Structure 1
Amino acid sequence: MDSSSLKNQNGFVQPGSLRELANVAIPLVLSCGSLSIMHVMDRIFLSWWSTDAVAAALPAGMIQWAIMSIAMGMATYVNTFVAQYEGAGQKQFVSESVWQGFYLALIWGGILLLGIPLSSTFFHWIGHAPEIQTLEVDYFSILCLGSGPSLISTVLSCFYTGRSKTMVVMWVNLAGVLVNMLLDYLLIFGAGPIPAMGIKGAAIATVLANVATMAFYAAIIFARHEAREYGLLNHYHWNQSLLMRLIRYGFPNGMLFFVDIVGFTLFVVLVGRIGKIELAATTIAFNLNSLAFVPMMGVGTAVMTLVGKRIGEGRPQLAVTTTWKAFIVSILYMSVFAVIYVGLPELLLRPYRPEVMTEEFQQVRQMTFVLLRFAALFSLFDALAVIFGSAIRGAGDTRFCMIYSLITGWTIMVIPTFLIWKYADEKIFGSWTACTAYIGVLGFGYLIRFQAGHWKKMRVIEEHFTDPVIKELDEPVQEALS
C-alpha cells in the first residue's frame, strides 16, 4: 500500500502532514480562542464595574486555578491515554480511560470545595488592600463551586480530542462561551428582576457556564453512535491498574500545571503588594496576552494528541515531523501578536477604558503600554514552551517537565521577583523582566529535551498494544513525507 492510497482511503489524511495538523488544531484553536475572548470580556465588564473588581479578579482566579490545577492536569492527561489507545486500536481501553478520569474528577471536585471556608484567612494573609481582599474572597469562593463540573467537562472533552475529533469540542466550548458571556453581562450589571452583583455575578456566570458545558458533552456523547462503538456504557468499571497509570503519568502533569500557576500566582501576589495600579496593569496585560497564548494552547493539545497517537501506532518519527510543523505555524502566529502589542497598544486598551477617564486609570493605561512590550517578547518564548513541552508530554515525559518547570520557575521568576519587590527601586519592570527570562529558559529547555529524543521510547499504554499493521506502513509514509 503506498502513501497516496493511505491519503485517499476513506478520506484518510496523510499522517504527519500539515493538513492532518490543521484538521486537529484549527477547531481547538478556535475553541481556546473563544475561551480567551470570554476571559477578556469578563475582565472588560469588571473594569467597567470598578478598578478594584478587575484588580481582584486575576489573583483570586489564579489562586482558584492553582488549587484546581493538579486535578486539571490529571483530567487533561486523559487525552494522552485516549490518543495512544486509539492509535493502538484499543477502543475498550479508550472508554475505560475516560471513566477513570471521570472518577478522579468527582473525587477532586469534592475535595476542592474544602477551600471555601479557608478563603477569608488565606486572602487576609496575602495582604492586599482590604477592599480588594473582600472582592477576592467573594470571587474565589464562588469559583470553587464550579471546580467539579469543570473537571468533568475536561475529561469528557478528552474522549474527542484524544481521537482527533476536535470539531465537537469546538462547538461545545463555543456554546459554553456564549452562555458565560450572556450571564456575565446580566449578572454583573443586572437587568430587569436580576440585581447587579458585580464580581460575584462574574463568578456565578462562570460556574453556570461550566455546568452547561458538562451537560452539553454528556448529551452529545450518549446521543451519538460513539457511545455504542466504544462501549462507554459497558466499560465503566473501576480499573485499578489503569487508574494508577493515569495517576502515575497524570499527577506529574498536574504538578506541572500547579508549579506553573503557583509561580505566576506568587508573581501576581508580589506585584499586588507593590500597589493597586501595578496589579491592575498586570491584570490587563496578562489578559490581553491571553488572546495570543490561550488559542496556542489548542495547537499544543493537537500536538500532544498527534504525538500520543503516533506513539500508540509505534511511529515516533512522524511525531517529530508534526511537532516541527506546529512550531513553525505557532512562531508565525505569535509574531503577529507581538507586532500588535508593540504597535497598537492604544487600540487594545480601548475596550477597558471607563466612560469617564480617571487619573487612576490613566496611570494603569501608561503602565500597561510598557508591560505589553514584555508580553511581545515572551509570547515568542511561549511558542517554544507550549509546542515542545506538549510534544514530550504526549509521549509520557511528564516527570521531566514537572521538575524542570519547578526549578526554573522558582530560581528565575519567583525568588528574583521577591528580591526585586523587597529591595529594588524599579519593582514592576524588574519583576516582568524575571517573568520573561523564566519563559525563555523554559521554552529552550523543552526544545533541548525534545531534540534529545528520550520521549520516543516512552508510552503510557501497555507495550503489546502497538498496531503491527501501522508499523509496517511507517516506512513508505516516511519516504513520501521526505
Structure 2
Amino acid sequence: MSSSAASRGGYRRVFAIGLPLVASMGTTTIMQFTDRVFLGNSSVDAIAAAVPAGIAALAFLSFFIGTASYVGVFIAQYTGASRPERVGAALWQGIWFCLAAGLVTAGCSSLAGPLFALAGHAPSVAANEETYFRILMLGGVFGILDAALSGFFSGRGLTRAVMLVNLAGAILNVPLDYALIYGAWGFPEMGIAGAALATVAGGAVSTLLFGVLIFTRANERAFRVRSAFAPDRDLFGRLMRYGLPGGVQFFLDIFAFTVFVFLVGRIGRAELAATNIVFSINALAFLPMVGFSVAASIMVGQALGANDPDAAHRDTMRTLRLTLGYMTPVALVFVLLPGPLLALFRPRDLDAAGYAAIVASGKTLLRFVAVYSVFDAVGMILFGALKGAGDSRYLMWSMGGAATVAMIVPTYVAVECFGAGVNTAWVFLTAYIVVLAGLMWLRYRGGKWRAMRVIEGGKKA
C-alpha cells in the first residue's frame, strides 16, 4: 500500500500504529511504576536510590539504545520504498552493533563505586545506587537488542507484535519484582537488587520472544532475516552515520536529567525523594507520548521512503492532535489529585513529619509537570517526525544545546553557588522542555526534513 493510500486512513491509521505502541509503553510504565511503589514501600533509601541509579544506567545505555533504534527508521523507509529484501540486512547490521555494545556496557558496571561516590549522596543511598546500577549494566545488552529487534516490526507498522512482546515481559516482571524485593513465594528478600534482577529478566524474555517471532522461514522468504546476516559495509556505515548522532542525542537527554537528579540530591534527602516520586508519576504521562512519537517516526519514514512528504506531514499533525488530547486531561489530574498519586509511594520507614515534607514538595512539583507536559507533547511528536526523516544531527545538537544552556548550567549555578531549593531547579527543568519544544517546531516548520532519506538513493540528511 502506498503512503498516500495509507495516509487516507487518517486517524484510524494513527490509532492502528500508535495505540499498540502506547500500550507497549504503558507496560513499561506499569513495570517502572510498580517497581517504584514496591521500593518506596520498602524503604526511603531504596526509593531515593532507584531513580538516580536507574537514570545513570540509562545514561550509559542510552547512546547504544538510541543508535540501535535507528534500525526501525531504515526498515520504515525500505518498507515505504517497497524494498523488503533490504529489511533483513538492515536488521542484522543493528544486531552486530548491539552485541558489541553489550560487551562495552557490561564493562561499565565496574564504574558503580566511583560514580556514586562522586554524586555525594548519603552513604546508605549510595550503597543502594551502586547495587542497582551494577546489575542493570550487566544485563544492559537486552535493552539494546530490544531497540533493534523491535524495529523489524515497528518499522513496517506492525506495532501489535511489539505490544505483545512487551506485555509478556511485564507479566513476568511485575510479580518477579514483588517476589525478589520482599522475599515472597520462596524467593530471597533482596530489596533493590531484586528490583534490578527482575528488570533484567523481563528484558531477557522480551529479547528471546522477538528472536522467535523474527527468525522464521516465512520472514526469511520475505525479508531475508536469516541469509542477510553478513556485515554490509555500506549499510552499516549509513546506520552509524544516522544512528550515532541519534545515540548521542538520546545520551545527552538522559545525561541532562541524570545531572539534574544528582544536583537535586545535593539539596537534601527529602527533596531527592520527592523529585524521584514525581518523576515516577510523570512516567504515566511521558511514556505513552513516546509511543505516539515512535508512531510519528514510523509514518514519516514510510511516507518519505515512498517520496510522499505531504502524507508525512498529515500523519504528523494527526498524531500531534491526538497526543495533546491525551495529555491535557492527564495534566489536570496532576493538578487536581496530587495527594492520592503521592500516597502510593509512602515509605514504611518514614515518620509522619518526614512524609508530610515529601508530600508538600511533591504537590508543587506535580504542578511543574502539568505545565511542561503540554510542551513536551509538541516536542516529542515533532522529534519523532524529524527522526523518521533521518534528521539526527539537528536533534543531537539542539538537544545538547538546550540541555546545557537552559537546564544543566543554570541549575548547577543556582544549587551550588546560591544554595537554591528544589523549586528553582524545577523551574530550569521546565524551561529546558519549553525551549526544546520550540526548537523542534522551528526545524519542522523549516521543511528541510521533506527531502531527507536514510536509505540509498535518497538525499543525505
The answer to whether the 8 Å contact 1:172/1:217 transfers is: yes
Instruction: Spell out the pairing of 1:5-404 with structure 2 (5 A cutoff).
Output: 13-15=6-8, 17-223=10-216, 225-354=218-347, 358=351, 359-404=353-398
Q: CA deviation at 1:362?
A: 1.9
Superposed CA offset, 1:88-133 (max 9, x none): 1111211111000000000001011111222111211111111111
Q: CA deviation at 1:145?
A: 1.5
Cα RMSD of the aligned pairs, angstroms, is 1.7
The answer to whether the 8 Å contact 1:187/1:196 transfers is: yes
Distance 2:272 2:217 in 1: 47
Q: What amino acid does structure 2 have at the position aligned with 1:380?
A: V
Q: CA deviation at 1:357?
A: 6.3
Distance 2:252 2:347 in 1: 35
Q: What amino acid does structure 2 have at the position aligned with 1:244?
A: G
Q: Percent identity?
A: 39
Superposed CA offset, 1:352-397 (max 9, x none): 1245762222211111111000000010111111001111111011
441, 444, 447: which one aligns with 2:441 = 447
Q: CA deviation at 1:347?
A: 1.7
Q: What amino acid does structure 1 have at the position aligned with 2:170?
A: V
Q: Which residue of 2 is the match for residue 474 of structure 1? A: none
In the TM superposition, structure 1's runs of 4+ consecutive aligned residues that sit over 3 Å from their partners are 13-16, 354-357, 423-426
Superposed CA offset, 1:401-443 (max 9, x none): 1101111111110001001102335420000000001100100
The answer to whether the 8 Å contact 1:16/1:319 transfers is: no
Distance 1:214 1:339 in 2: 37
Distance 1:156 1:411 in 2: 35
TM-score w.r.t. the length of structure 2 is 0.96
Distance 2:205 2:338 in 1: 35
The answer to whether the 8 Å contact 1:16/1:318 transfers is: no
Q: What amino acid does structure 2 have at the position aligned with 1:199?
A: I
Distance 1:356 1:198 in 2: 14
Q: CA deviation at 1:193?
A: 3.1
Deviates more, 1:349-358 or 1:148-157: 349-358
Q: CA deviation at 1:350?
A: 2.5
Superposed CA offset, 1:293-312 (max 9, x none): 10110000000000000110
Superposed CA offset, 1:52-101 (max 9, x none): 00000111111110011110001111110000001111112111110000
SS in 1 for 2:187: coil
SS in 2 for 1:352: coil
Q: CA deviation at 1:228?
A: 2.8
Deviates more, 1:149-158 or 1:240-249: 149-158
Distance 2:7 2:443 in 1: 27
Distance 1:261 1:311 in 2: 29
SS in 2 for 1:225: helix
Superposed CA offset, 1:10-31 (max 9, x none): xxx5446111111100100010
The answer to whether the 8 Å contact 2:261/2:272 transfers is: yes
The answer to whether the 8 Å contact 2:452/2:458 transfers is: no
Q: Relative to 1, partners in 2 of residues 1:272 and 1:2: Cα closer, same or farther, differing over 3 Å?
A: closer
SS in 1 for 2:224: coil
The answer to whether the 8 Å contact 1:382/1:440 transfers is: yes
The answer to whether the 8 Å contact 1:83/1:309 transfers is: yes
Superposed CA offset, 1:338-361 (max 9, x none): 100000111212221245762222
Q: Relative to 1, partners in 2 of residues 1:356 and 1:108: Cα closer, same or farther, differing over 3 Å?
A: closer
The answer to whether the 8 Å contact 1:91/1:230 transfers is: yes
TM-score w.r.t. the length of structure 1 is 0.92
Distance 2:239 2:376 in 1: 27
The answer to whether the 8 Å contact 1:75/1:151 transfers is: yes
Deviates more, 1:225-234 or 1:88-97: 225-234
SS in 2 for 1:116: helix
Distance 2:259 2:411 in 1: 9
Q: What amino acid does structure 2 have at the position aligned with 1:376?
A: A
Long gaps (5+) in structure 2? none
Distance 1:303 1:331 in 2: 14
Superposed CA offset, 1:258-279 (max 9, x none): 1101111000000000011011
The answer to whether the 8 Å contact 1:75/1:101 transfers is: yes
Q: What amino acid does structure 2 have at the position aligned with 1:348?
A: L
Q: Relative to 1, partners in 2 of residues 1:228 and 1:379: Cα closer, same or farther, differing over 3 Å?
A: same
Distance 2:320 2:411 in 1: 30
Q: Which residue of 2 is the match for residue 405 of structure 1? A: 399
Q: Relative to 1, partners in 2 of residues 1:411 and 1:240: Cα closer, same or farther, differing over 3 Å?
A: same
Distance 1:368 1:268 in 2: 15
Q: Relative to 1, partners in 2 of residues 1:146 and 1:85: Cα closer, same or farther, differing over 3 Å?
A: same
The answer to whether the 8 Å contact 1:48/1:354 transfers is: yes
Q: Relative to 1, partners in 2 of residues 1:389 and 1:193: Cα closer, same or farther, differing over 3 Å?
A: same
Distance 2:7 2:62 in 1: 35
Distance 2:236 2:419 in 1: 51
SS in 2 for 1:463: coil
Distance 1:404 1:14 in 2: 29
The answer to whether the 8 Å contact 2:78/2:86 transfers is: yes
Deviates more, 1:50-59 or 1:359-368: 359-368
The answer to whether the 8 Å contact 1:16/1:321 transfers is: no
